[in-house]
Amino acid sequence: MHIGIVTLFPEIAASFGSLGVTGRAVEDGRITLDIENPRSHAGDAHGTVDDRPYGGGPGMVLKVEPMRDAIEALRKRLPDASRTVLMSPQGRPFDQDRARQFAELDGLLLVCGRYEGVDERLLELAIDEEVSVGDFVVSGGELPALLVADAVARLVPGVLGAEKSAEQDSFVEGLLDCPHYTRPEEVSGLKVPPVLLSGDHEKVRRWRLKQALGRTWRRRPELLRSRRLRDEEQSLLDEFIAEAKSLNGRK
Ligand code: SAH
C-alpha cells in the first residue's frame, strides 16, 4: 500500500516510516511512504504557504496553490485510485471500520492542515473527504494523519508480525479487547487469573470472550447495542453481569 502525506513538517511524518511496526513495514516494502512539502510549491522565494484570512481575525490560512500543487505532485506518484483525505476536526469521525475500508485501497493521500486550517476552496479542488480523529483540536494534521496511517497500516496483510493479533484487537469484532497478562505470575500481591495458567485452550478462549463482552458492557455499552450477540456470547455476558451484580451486592 502506498501512503502519501502532504505536510509542512516532514520530520514528524517521517517517524512513521522509521520506527516500530510501521517502520518495519516500510523497510519490508509492504508500505511505501511518500511525503510532499507544500513549501517546495510556494510561488515566491520566501516559501510562503500561508496568508491572512479575508474578513480579518487571528491566525493564518494555508493558501490554495501550494497545497493543491503539493497534492497533485504526490498524486502523480500514487496509484490512480488513491483517495485524498484532509485531516480536519470537522471531518467524519475516524474509526476501525473506516481504517478497514482505507486498508483496501492501493493508495491513501493524507493532507495535513496547520494554523487556522486550509482555504475552503482546496476542498473542492483537491480533497475527496475530510476525516477527524476526535472532538478536540490539535495544532496540525500531522499527528492525526499518523494515527490514521498507523491504524490502516497494521491492517495491511503481513505488517503485524503475528497475523492474528489484529483480529483480536478492540473494535475489530465490535468489542473491546480482553485484559492481557505476562510474567511474573504475581506482582505486588496481584495474581494472574488462574484460568490463564490452566493450559486449557477452550477455557481460556471462553474467559477472554467473556471479559471482552463484560468490558464492552461496562465501558462502551453503545457498542453492544449496534452488534448482535451469538448465543454463546449472550450467555457469557449474562454470566458476567450476574457475577458483577453479586459482587456489588456483597460490598
Ligand atoms: N480552525 C480549525 C482548526 C485548525 S487546527 C477548526 O476549528 O476547524 C490545524 C489543523 O490541525 C487542521 O487544519 C487539521 O489539519 C488538524 N487537526 C486539528 N484537530 C484535528 C482533529 N481532531 N482531527 C483531524 N485533524 C485535526
On whether the CB atoms of residues 148 and 109 are closer than 8 A, the answer is no
**SS3 track for the chain:** CEEEEECCCHHHHHHHHCCHHHHHHHHHCCCEEEEECHHHHCCCCCCCCEECCCCCCCCCEECHHHHHHHHHHHHHHCCCCCEEEEEEEEEEECCHHHHHHHHCCCEEEEECCECCCECCHHHHHHCCEEEECCCCCCCECHHHHHHHHHHHHCCCCCCCCCHHHHCCCCCCCCCCCCCCCCCCCEECCEECCHHHHCCCHHHHHHHHHHHHHHHHHHHCHHHHHCCCCCHHHHHHHHHHHHHHHHHHHHC
- CATH 1.10.1270.20 intervals, the chain: 186-250
Q: Which three cell numbers stand for residue 224?
A: 453492544
Per-residue pLDDT of the chain (251 residues; tens, 9 = 90+): 999 999 999 999 999 999 999 999 999 999 999 999 999 999 999 999 999 999 999 999 999 999 999 999 999 999 999 999 999 999 999 999 999 999 999 999 999 999 999 999 999 999 999 999 999 999 999 999 999 999 999 999 999 976 566 777 888 889 999 999 999 999 999 999 999 999 999 999 999 999 999 999 999 999 999 899 999 999 999 999 999 999 988 76
* Maximum Cα interatomic distance, the chain, rounded to a whole number of Å: 74
pLDDT at 249: 82
Catalytic residue numbers read 89, 116, 154, 169
Q: How far is CA 33 from the centre of its chain?
A: 16
Which residues partner with 2 through β-bridges?
32, 107
Report the nearest-CA residue for atom 1 of ligand 1.
116
Distance from residue 17's CA to the centre of ligand 1 (Å): 23
CATH topology for the 186-250 domain: Trp Operon Repressor; Chain A (1.10.1270)
Ligand 1 pocket, mutate which of 92, 109, 137 (most atoms under 8 A from CB):
137
pTM for the predicted model, two decimal places: 0.94
Atom nearest to 137 CA in ligand 1: 19
Q: What is the pLDDT of residue 213?
A: 97
Distance 174 CA to ligand 1 centre (A): 28
Residue 16: count of CB within 10 angstroms of its CB: 23
Span from the CA of 141 to the centroid of ligand 1 (angstroms) = 6
Mutate to test the pocket of ligand 1, among 9, 60, 86, 88 (most ligand atoms within 8 A of CB): 88
Q: Which cell numbers in the block locate residue 18?
A: 522509521
Give nearest CA residue, ligand 1 atom 16.
141
CATH superfamily for 2-153 is: SPOUT methyltransferase, trefoil knot domain (3.40.1280.10)
CA of 104 to the centre of ligand 1 (A): 26
Residue 89 CA to ligand 1 center (angstroms) comes to 5
Burial class (CB in 10 A: 0-12, 13-18, 19+), 192: middle
Nearest CA to ligand 1 atom 23: 132
Q: Would you tell me how many other CB atoms lie within 10 Å of the CB of residue 111?
A: 29
| Binding-site residues, ligand 1, Cβ < 6 A | 87-90, 112-114, 116-117, 132-134, 136-141, 144
Asked if residue 8 lies in contact with residue 14, where contact means CB atoms within 8 angstroms, the answer is no
Q: Is the dihedral of CA 156, 109, 130, 62 positive or negative?
A: positive
Candidate from 5, 64, 84, 87 with most ligand 1 atoms within 8 A of CB, to mutate: 87
CATH 3.40.1280.10 domain range(s) in the chain: 2-153
Query: What atom of ligand 1 comes closest to residue 133's alpha carbon?
Result: 23
Q: Are 171 and 95 in contact (CB under 8 A)?
A: yes
